[in-house]
Amino acid sequence: MATVASSFGIEEALKELGVNETNNGTSTGKNWFSSGEEIASYSPVDGKLIGKVSATTKEDYEKVITTATEGFKEWRQLPAPQRGEIVRKFNDELRRLKEPLGKLVSYEMGKSYQEGLGEVQEMIDICDFAVGLSRQLHGLTMHSERPGHRMYEQYHPLGVVGIISAFNFPVAVWSWNTALAWVCGDACIWKGSEKTPLTSVACQNIAARVFSENGAPEGISCLITGDYTVGEMMTKDERVPLISATGSTRMGKIVAKKVAGRLGKTLLELGGNNAIIVTPDADIKNTVIGAVFGAVGTCGQRCTSTRRLIVHEDVYDKVKDAIVDAYQQIKIGNPLDENNHVGPLIDKDAVKNYQNALDKVVEEGGNILVEGGVLEGEGYESGCYVKPAIAEAKNEFEIVQHETFAPVLYLLKYSGDLENAIEIQNGVRQGLSSAIMTNNLREAERFLSVAGSDCGIANVNIGTSGAEIGGAFGGEKETGGGRESGSDAWKIYMRRQTNTINYTTELPLAQGIKFDL
């Protein structure tokens, strides 16, 4: 373990989370099934080995899915408030282990320690939400057209839920799904990112211990590990009625096709190409804060990261100067050092994509305002630290039309009225998060109207990042259309059933049909 890691308490965090140097891969909570090739996890912070896990083989997967399927049959019989009580105890452990888990997230993924703690807080918040939800899994009662009949609908657990999550939020997105699925009565099989396998092991250790101590059936929380081939085991498996997948649009299209081929359900959270519109009535100070955090937070590796800043020509130079000035104040370095704003990209492949994006925007005629580049020297030995960059560009540039998963902000100018800005904002294939900066009530309401933003998330006077648990999270178009977290997102994890009860001695048919014998 690197000296810098030790100085920030990583070794102690790993020990407290039960993550050893070599982990055989967890599956269902009590047993360790994975037995395939080793996967090494290296920190982008300092390039050092954190630990190793074993990949899931086909034989391992069969053990996992069998155990999860059997566990579900028992788990679904437990009343939802009792399932919620076990989730509450899981939440108690998250609160107790918030600091070490936040440190591991920061060290293995590369986001700032504050963001690591924030991610664990999201886990805590969704568990709070789920515990309350366990007493509110409601249906509707409807009036029947037939005398002496009652109609209502109810929701039943769906079964085994397959979860595929990405490296950028290695624990929070899993919890968005599992906390709700668990109280709904489902079992969960999680394929975490092979780039952040140890955070997955840590979470599974916590869940396994809580479920075991509370007498829950084995298989309710399962973990499988490996590359896309391991995910394919779930996407092709008819025993997994729902696949919740977070990642690139390319990946999502493959998952959607495979699952649709067997008439399964998908919950897709895919790419974002998020924009902030800045009108002449915007508060420039708040605009800078929202845009800078949105663009450089998590080193630009959030699905809700701000990619495009669409600024009215009347305030364009003022906003440009303020943003450029703010970028000069950004501190880049070890994310466990809370004096730094930005940590590394996840790996050197991400660095190549970042460099390619900057080359491409120049090739297409863009102008670099804040120069990027890879940082070298002491503290940057991993080769994954880059400078956040800003480029003046046009929305029709090919590179701007794609999601650049790195700290590259494209500055776009618009003229005329707000409709022109909205057209630019909506003029990409993705539709996740959007925002407008304005003190004009009419502009704000226009942006939120039916002819305004076409994204699943639309904010006023805040940035594109930082969704709260209470609202449903997700987007439209090539973002996939899925919804996770709050509101009524719980319904995707259940099957709806309509019931009609006849309490008379007659058997009238609907629509007045006569069928006398």
Class of residue 378 by CB neighbours under 10 A (exposed 0-12, middle 13-18, buried 19+): exposed
- Which candidate in 108, 115, 119, 269 is catalytic? 269
Task: Please choose, from the candidates 202, 180, 177, the residue with its C-alpha nearest in 3D space to the C-alpha of residue 190.
Answer: 177
Known active-site residue 269 = yes
Q: How far apart are CA 381 and CA 333, in angstroms?
A: 11
Q: What backbone phi and psi angles, to 5 degrees, belong to 275?
A: -130, 150
Sheet of strand 242-246: strand arrangement: 221-224, 187-191, 160-164, 242-246, 265-269
CA distance 134 to 358: 48
Q: Could you give the CA distance from residue 471 to residue 126 in angstroms, rounded to a whole number?
A: 11
Measured CA to CA, the distance from residue 232 to residue 237 in angstroms comes to 8
Those residues with Cβ within 8 angstroms of residue 511's Cβ, 6 or more apart along the chain or in another chain = none
β-bridge partners, 496:
155
Measured CA to CA, the distance from residue 504 to residue 512 in angstroms comes to: 16
User: What count of Cα atoms within 13 Å lies in the side-chain half-sphere of residue 79?
Assistant: 5
Q: What is the DSSP string of 129-171?
A: HHHHHTT-----EEE-SSTTEEEEEEEEE--EEEEE--SSSTT
Q: What are phi and psi of 145, to 5 degrees?
A: -75, -15
Cα distance between residue 287 and residue 316, in whole Å: 12
User: CA 197, CA 108: separation in Å to the nearest integer?
Assistant: 9
Which residue in 234, 124, 151, 156 sits closest to 190, CA to CA? 234
Quote the strand ranges of 315-439, DSSP E. 367-370, 389-392, 408-414, 430-431, 433-437
- Residues serving a catalytic function are 269
